[in-house]
Structure 1
Amino acid sequence: MFTKEEYADYADLCARYKPECPENFNFSYDVLDAMEPGKTALIHVDDDGVRREYDFKFFQETSSKLANALVKEGVKKGDRVMLVLYRRLEYWTVMLALHRIGALPIPSPSLLTKKDISQRVNYAKISAIICEDSICARVDEAKGDCPGLNHFVQIDGETNDGWHDYEELMATGDVSFPRTADSPGGDDPMVIFFSSGTTGLPKMVLHNFSYPASHFTTAAMWHDLEEGDIHLTLSETGWAKSVWGKFYGQWMAGAVVFVWDFRGKFEPAHLLQIMEENKITTFCAPPTVYRFLVREDLSKYALSLRHCTTAGELLNESVFHAWEKAFNMPLYEGYGQTETTLQVATFKCMTPKPGSIGRPVPGWDIALMDDEGKKVPQGEEGEICIRIDKPVLGLFDSYMDEPEKTASVKFDGWYHTGDKAWADEDGYLWFMGRTDDLIKSSGYRIGPFEVESALVAHDSVIEAAVTGLPDEVRGQLVKATVVLAPGYEPSEELTKALQTYVRELTAPYKYPRVIEYVDDLPKTISGKIKRKEIREADLKKYNS
């Protein structure tokens, strides 16, 4: 059904590779149930270091048992089910079971507060929740405000009042849940992801049952997965990125999904140890993780890596070159959104350009457009837009229950991503940031990512957020809010050194004329920087 080939270059890839999805596709029936039962599907290492391997028979049977048990409890096709499961093994079983039923999983992050839970449950009309025991108390506090929430399933711990024990519930289900004429598939709604937007309530991004098929491109082409590879994507399961790298595409490409369910603070040395001990062959993580890894003594680790990818923010050149020097392999960047799958990437058949997100993925007709909906010339910034006058495999259906929000981004035959980029002479795209984040200074338009990338390349900087500060003369000044590395203290001397450093790495007009030092940056629960919050705080501070 899904086959991988080798391609000579990008032109050959575009000419011969056509992403496709079988009719009435349902991943649980068409992929999971077709897998060789005894083949290893997933390796799981928990927070205590306990390693377990699971074959496809395990998921075939447990997903069927859970599907049967949930149906007996009244969960039905179209119901919306919140999942808060960290990186627990049960996440895969629950997702696959809900795909069989046609109930819509809503993967959610573990950092949700009582208020977050009640808001999302009511906003999304969620009727059931499946979570581990550490989350139950927050749900119990919130459920009095959630009249539509009536099914509660708890994993681990002493079972709370009103909750079903996951294992006991599973034991009531049969190991067979056969496909029927009413089984979901194709254009039926399959999954809802809450977007990780930095303003207001996150939107509910709805994907249909063809969505998993589009991740074959992610896994086989971008991750370069082959039969028997052991792939690690670091993402928690509360976000769409987890199904990019821990689920659908990896199994379709013949790889084993590796899961490290670590809790608490991220320790780069521990991650390198885990990768070495478990012979990880392919790896994907955001650039921030690579920035921490290259600060370690990489020569101490005998890693089995052969291919590495990154996405989620801009990769700075110093990290790219440090990784390449340590392992004799480049980092391959990619770009997409919760609303999409991989839509721009650097594939193995291409020469990576550090800092570029790559070129459009086959099947995605992408143009950079100005505010009037006209394509911009090469070298000029424009909004990343996707042609949608024909179906696009992997593009979201809608913002669930919000047709006006959907219409605000899907119109005149295009989906408007809200992200800005420019294209070089080779057709590579260079990401600039969200349209709202661009800085207009003395006639120049400056993307925050390039300046942030230059700043974090300096040894003294762990993180940086670049925003525009109102200025009567220039319109806006470039301002950097900086988190320093251990051993460094704010000073006028350091500020001048950072400004000089940025001027040398970027165009002189892009350097931050104002630098503020902070202990941490405001972020969403998905870890994205809230630049809007910084801008609003600055307006109050500098206008008072």
Structure 2
Amino acid sequence: MEKQKYGSNEEFCTEYKTEVPDNYNFAFDCVDKIAADDPSRLAMIHVGPDGTRTEKDFDFFSKKSARLANALSKAGVEKGDRIMIILYRRIDWWVSMLACHKIGAVPVPSPNLLTVKDIQFRVNFAKIKGIIAEDSVADRADEAHKSCPSLKVMVQAGEGDLHDGWLDFETICGEASDSFPRPADCAGGDDSLLIFFSSGTTGQPKMVEHTHNYPLGHYVTGAYWHDLEPGAVHLTLADTGWGKAVWGKYYGQWMAGAVVFVWDFRGKFEPSELLRVLADNKVTSFCAPPTVYRFMIREDLSKYDLSALTHCTTAGELLNASVFEAWKEATGLPLYEGYGQTESVLQIATFPNMTPKPGSIGKPCPGWDIALIDTEGNLCAPGEEGQICVKLDPRPVGLFTGYLDEPQKTENVMVDGYYQTGDKAWMDEDGYYWFLGRTDDLIKSSGYRIGPFEVESALITHDAIVEAAVTGVPCDVRGQAVKATVVLAPGYEGSEELTKELQNHVKKVTAPYKYPRIIDYVTELPKTISGKIKRAEIRAKDEADAKA
């Protein structure tokens, strides 16, 4: 695709249209096409766990994915079969995704932290036929397999000993042809492309289905939000087991002509190591959650040559103004926020042709007709809080088809011509949106409606706080009282004095009525496997404790 230039955001939203070719298939129509036209074009720079740097061109991905597609087909994988992929940020993940696209199989990217019970639930719920997994996951998969009758094909990646009944990734690729012509009944267009399991913050995860047109919706993500030009080197710091990986490490970046940079670190990231990787590898575009930027600005940034970096984006949490300002002061680069979901591509964002407002997620993306609707079904005026809703006619490219095998849950969110996201926000007079949180997470206290992100954002600006989760607890006087569950930084201990200090800090940073009347000190917060805070679990525990 050729990136068009727009003088203003208004022109961008008016003029840009997502073109949807007939029977589009990303593997054939993007990757294989680039490989045919310019086989040596750099596709990926990969830095492994041991620091080894590897470069791969599009010819490699075209041929290696063809080899795996042939091998999987020989093993019995067919169009429509669902394949769970549990791989680290190793090159094999991209090869596996492309191979599935070519066959028409439906990959189910999954985190490597899944337990035996998690694997059993997902395999049986989705009727998964095959699994491509790390050697370190094989034991769990073997245990789950005992109660998963649909699971027939097992492929192991990595250097560990091959488990019984598994195929070795490299061996089967080495034995197969590197040619996989486009099938006569090639999957594409409205056929199922992939399935994500939702984070499950409020219950069992749901199956979110996207079609083969979904990658086209991510062109805006790569070319315009990440501001990528051909040859740019982009790093999105995301695990391959959740949706942000295809947002920032795959579809839109390759369509924009950029090089996907992958840092395959294992375990918890170290901010100093991340800064070294950014500097040493001349990364030009970077995307990470606000928490990552918050950790990086605590480092001595003057020690790292970040001069190659030209554009930075962030999403997933509320961006605190102090983090925005500190990063901009140190690097000269503002942070451009964005908003979307597992169920969609980018819906709302701050683009380079806009002036960022710290804490605002920006304005609706082209092709996305967004409305804020209150609990009575009325459109919200500027300054009023409402649920973020997406108009379904015309249906935006990149919106999910629904929750598979759960029509009632799909029906619950597709209401009166809108997809209801379950997230709340308000819009200012300039048309910028300000995220408040999930509708279930909002706190109603003494007539005020308080978003947890606002209070959490205030708390984490205090040196004592590493993480914070804000919830409402029943209160006879106020209806609900604001409670903060916090993880302290090393060197701090919970006490009445610290509680008062934190409460006064919040009163100074945000509106005084929002301060937490209760602060609970914990060693860790309950989270989903994708790292999202499970506020519902905190609320349930508080309710149980109140009844005890």
Work out the CA distance in 2 between the residues paired with 1:380 and 1:20.
Answer: 35
Matching of residues 21-32 of structure 1 within 5 Å: 21-32=20-31
One of 65, 73, 76 as aligned partner of 2:75: 73
Moved more, 177-186 or 236-245: 177-186
Residue 197 (structure 1) aligns with: 200
Distance 1:7 1:487 in 2: 50
What is the rounded CA distance, in whole Å, between the counterparts of 2:187 and 2:175 in structure 1? 23
Q: Answer whether contact 1:20 1:214 (CA < 8 A) is retained.
A: no
For residues 86-123 of structure 1, the C-alpha deviation after alignment (integer angstroms, 9 at most, x for no partner) is 11110000100100011000000000001101111001
Residue 311 (structure 2) aligned to one of 307, 311, 328: 307
CA distance in 1, matches of 2:395, 2:432: 24
Say whether the 8 Å CA contact 1:20–1:393 is kept in structure 2: no
Residue 295 of structure 2 is aligned with which of 285, 292, 298?
Answer: 292
Describe the SS at the equivalent of 2:131. Answer: strand
Distance in 2 of aligned mates of 1:180 and 1:87: 29
Matched to 1:125, the amino acid is K
Within 5 Å, which residues of 2 pair with 1:409-448? 409-448=413-452
- Alpha-carbon RMSD: 0.9
Could you say what secondary structure the match of 1:145 adopts? Answer: coil
**Quick one: distance in 1 between partners of 2:148 and 2:270?**
37
* Distance in 1 (alpha carbons) for counterparts of 2:179 and 2:117: 39
Residue 172 of structure 1: aligned partner: 175
What does residue 215 of structure 1 align with? Answer: 218
Match of 2:284 among 275, 281, 285: 281
- Corresponding residue for residue 466 of structure 1: 470
Identity %: 64
Cα deviation, residue 180, structure 1:
3.0
Q: Which amino acid aligns with 2:43?
A: A
**Per-residue Cα deviation, 1:2-34 (whole angstroms, up to 9, x for no partner):** 221232222121122222222211001110111
Q: 2:144 matched to which residue of 1?
A: 142
Matched AA of 1:163: W
Q: Give the structure 2 partner of residue 250 of structure 1.
A: 253
Question: Is 2:521 the counterpart of 1:517?
Answer: yes
The answer to whether 1:340 aligns with 2:344 is yes
**1:391, CA displacement in angstroms?**
2.3
Distance in 1, Cα, partners of 2:486 & 2:71: 51
* Alignment counterpart, residue 55 of structure 1, candidates 30, 54, 57: 57
1:353 to 352, 357, 370: 357
What per-residue deviation string (whole Å, max 9, x for no partner) do you get for residues 57-82 of structure 1?
00010111111111111100000000
Q: Counterparts of 2:109 and 2:28 in 1: how far apart (Å)?
A: 21
Tell me if the contact between 1:186 and 1:208 (Cα under 8 Å) persists in the aligned partners. Answer: yes
Q: Is the 8 A contact 1:287 1:311 kept in 2?
A: yes
Q: Distance in 2 between matches of 1:492 and 1:543?
A: 25
Quote the Cα distance in structure 1 between the aligned partners of 2:76 and 2:85. Answer: 17
- SS of equivalent residue, structure 2 residue 471: strand
Aligned with residue 225 of structure 1, among 217, 224, 228: 228
Aligned to 1:31, what secondary structure does the other structure show? helix
Q: Hey, what's the Cα distance between the residues in 2 that align with 1:219 and 1:21? A: 17
Residues of 2 paired with 1:22 and 1:345: CA distance?
25
Q: Alpha-carbon deviation of 1:445? A: 0.6
Residue 385 (str. 1) matches residue 384 (str. 2): no
Q: Deviating runs (4+, > 6 A) in structure 1?
A: none
TM-score, normalization: structure 1? 0.99
Determine helix, strand or coil for the equivalent of 1:408. helix
Aligned partners of 1:330, 1:21: CA distance in 2, in Å? 33
Structure 1 CA distance for aligned equivalents of residues 6 and 493 of structure 2:
50
Deviations 1:158-209 (A, max 9, x none): 2111001111111232111111330011000110001112122200000000
Spell out, residue by residue over 1:20-56, the C-alpha distance to the aligned partner (whole angstroms, 9 max, x if none).
Answer: 2222110011101111110110011111101100000
Matches of 1:98 and 1:543, distance apart in 2 = 50
Q: Structure 2 matches for 1:257-276, cutoff 5 A?
A: 257-276=260-279
Which residue is equivalent to 1:4?
A: 3
Distance 1:408 1:537 in 2: 27
Name which of 145, 162, 170 aligns with 2:165.
162
Q: Which residue of 2 aligns with 1:119?
A: 121
> Aligned to 1:126, what secondary structure does the other structure show?
coil
CA distance in 2, matches of 1:154, 1:502: 50
Corresponding residue SS for 2:520: strand
The residue correspondences of 1:102-113 to structure 2 (distance < 5 A) are: 102-113=104-115
Unaligned runs of at least 5 residues, structure 2: none
For normalisation by structure 2, the TM-score amounts to 0.98
Partner residue, 1:17: 16
1:495 offset after TM fit, Å? Answer: 1.3
- Matched residues, number: 543
